[in-house]
Amino acid sequence: MKFSNDNEEKVIKIKQSSKVALHEIEDGLGNTTNQNSDGIKRCVGCGIAFQTEDERKPGFVLDNVRQDYCLRCFKIKNYGRLVEQEINDKDFIAILEEINNSSSQIRYYYVVDIFDLPGSRLEWLEKMIATKEVIILVNKIDLVPKVVSKDKIIAYVKKYFGLGVLKDAKIMLTSSVKKEHVFPLVEAMKTVTYDQYIVGVSNAGKSSLINACLYANQQAPSVVTSKYVNTTLDKIKINFTKENYVYDTPGLVKHNHIAIATAPSYWDYFFFQKEVKQVTYQLQSGQSIFYGGVAWFNYVGGAQTDETGKELRTSFHFYINRRMPLHRTKTDNSEKYFRSHRHALAPRLKDKDAVFTTHTFKFTKEDNVDIHISGLGWINVKTFPGLHLEVVVPTVDNGGIKVSLLPALIS
């Protein structure tokens, strides 16, 4: 027999489901993008103003009264399909400049991707927000191998930003799937009653963090997230309490990310969803490793030898997306290999006649370093005098694919 106590205080809980509900316990909480607004109704998924004239432009809806999501967000959310529409990256920059000039008191949450620190940094954005309060959110921390301590990651990131304008910013480790990395962020957001904005590049995980914070606060996640760039198109206002709110903002396109050289159908290979995979190769000079059909790494020369003059193999640790296939071949045949096997490799480049840029690394001392390739992870190697390496990536506009040399994260 079950007994109940009628005098007990009843706790109201929100049922969370895969379907997005726009109704909270009371008005003024959750996604309040369209509440108390006299302007045009906006999409609750991406923030763009609705329009009914042109299906090729963002914000298109058939009925701007009955619908809460634009066509693009509806397709992404329900079918995982991207509706190709004309999106201008300059509009996003204008939105962020307007935000920064709107108030003297603003807190920014600057989201960077732990797997693409060089590629997820925007120095012009850092200079713009540095005059305000800034917290750096190091995101996707759940995907880092467990052997790396959280203290080491914080120290690593702090040193990485140490010479920039955000050297004094507070650092928080975040993840949209681990509660222990969500609750501290929610509590930080709930301490502020002035304007707060989440900023950063596309696919750094801003909108997923917002949804995770809503879920942790027993509210309905409603911001549309996807593997595609530019999912969020304008500001989205989220209230955690009636007095406390944060804005999700459009992500800036990573023009130096290798995904832009491929079709969107391949983007699952470049945006990490599971713990990074380590693959170790012991290579001799003159050998290369291909990343699918998009880029490759050359061990050019400078090999060490034993007392008999025999070449010693060198260990290279590739930290990659679990879906990314690696192939070993001879360096002399590397570009020929790419041209002849292009259609059999996945992922592959959009441009069948792609031109490539070679990044060269020559070392004069012993060290432990990571070579980061934006979108592909990194290669760890213990260097020695004379070691000669190359990373070959497709040539793209706007500065090219980012390839950077950093101290080793995992030692």
Give average pLDDT by consecutive 10-residue segment, the chain, 411 residues. Answer: 42 35 58 70 81 82 80 74 55 78 88 90 90 94 88 94 93 90 90 88 82 80 53 70 81 80 86 85 95 95 84 93 92 84 86 90 96 95 96 86 93 72
Residues 244 and 308 in one domain: no
Residues 240 and 107 in one domain: yes
Q: Please name every residue paired with 283 in a beta bridge, in sequence order, or none if there are none.
A: 314
How far apart CA 326 and CA 40 sit, in angstroms, is: 49
Q: Who's near 58: CB < 8 A, 6+ residues apart? A: 46, 48, 70, 72, 85, 86, 87, 233
Domain boundary among 254, 281, 308: 254
pLDDT value at residue 328: 93
Cβ-based neighbour number of residue 142 at 10 Å: 17
Residues 206 and 245 in one domain: yes
In a domain, 36, yes or no: no
DSSP secondary structure letter of residue 369: E
Tokens representing 360 are: 């060269």
Residues 283 and 179 in one domain: no
Residues 163 and 192 in one domain: yes
Domain boundary among 200, 223, 254: 254
CA angle 394, 400, 404 (to 5 degrees): 100
Q: In what order do the strands lie in the sheet with 30-31?
A: 30-31, 236-239, 245-248, 195-200, 106-113, 133-139, 170-173
In a domain, 98, yes or no: yes
Q: How far is CA 38 from the centre of its chain?
A: 34
pLDDT value at residue 174: 94
pLDDT value at residue 231: 56
Number of domains present in the structure of the chain: 2
How far apart CA 180 and CA 329 sit, in angstroms, is: 43
Residues 246 and 292 in one domain: no
pTM of the model: 0.78
Residues 331 and 236 in one domain: no
- The domain in which residue 283 lies consists of 261-407
Q: What is the CATH number of the domain that holds 170?
A: 3.40.50.300
Residues 136 and 271 in one domain: no
Domain boundary among 213, 228, 254: 254
Tokens representing 223 are: 């911001």
In a domain, 104, yes or no: yes
pLDDT value at residue 387: 96
